[in-house]
Structure 1
Amino acid sequence: MALTMNIHTLTKDLPRRIVLSYAVIGAVWILISDQAIETIIGNYSQFTYLTTFKGLIFMAITSLLLYQLLQKYQRSLQEMNHKMASKKTMQLLIILSKITEYIKLQKQLRSYIEYDSLTKLPWRSFLLDKLESLLKQTHP
């Protein structure tokens, strides 16, 4: 249940985190880089060229950051899926061992009911019941 909640929280928050990160990085980049270019270069034609170049650099950097963020997200989802699969496997193994234990106990109980524990001979009542059922089968 906790792993399911973690996956839900991770997938629910991812779009918001990506958009906020992109908005903050983009705003900071635009404000700082425009002022830096304007301070360094006074020529308007060079300013236009440099802001276009700056925009392309921004797109390349944010694309790489987004790629890394999504890769990290994908790895965490894969790890959670692996943990959930391991947990389910353990649960199945426990269930199988309980079933095996139950079958063993059932056989043991049947043995106690049908045979004497000391001599390992069939109980007299069991033997009589068996004979009676066989007689009924042969003479209806």
Structure 2
Amino acid sequence: MIERANIEERDYILSNSIQSVNEGTTNPGIVKEEKALQIVSSILDRGGYHLIYRDGDEIAGWVLLGENTDYFTENKHGFIYDVFVFPKFRGKGFSKKLVEASIANFKEQGYDEIRLNVYSSNFAKYIYKDIGFKELQTIMVYK
């Protein structure tokens, strides 16, 4: 079952945000716990919220959703900031269901565009493409 997180569930998610943020970067340990909390809290402070996937009585995973604005056009769009499923629940399609629920949620709110950011080395990129997301931009680095 997918539903919006209540305050207690949000606190539980925040206590596990370090794992989610580090996995999303595909570079475990790069983000410290204080920074992970700061990142997630700032999104929540701007009106962001979590949808959770519940498997029985346990939270199996979540998505962090909010609004964002295109830098160039200033058009507003729904944004999926984080998708996370605990390791013991992986391989069951929960990530895909969470993203599809996010899309439906944003459409109900009237958004005609939904975006997310994913590291090029993150396997989730292929889940997003399978759902219908298209590459919009590439960020490159030179060291």
Normalising by structure 1, we get a TM-score of 0.21
Q: Is the helix fraction higher in 1 or 2?
A: 1
- After TM superposition, the score normalised by the length of structure 2 is 0.20
Give the number of the structure whose alpha-carbon radius of gyration is greater: 1
Structure with the larger strand share: 2
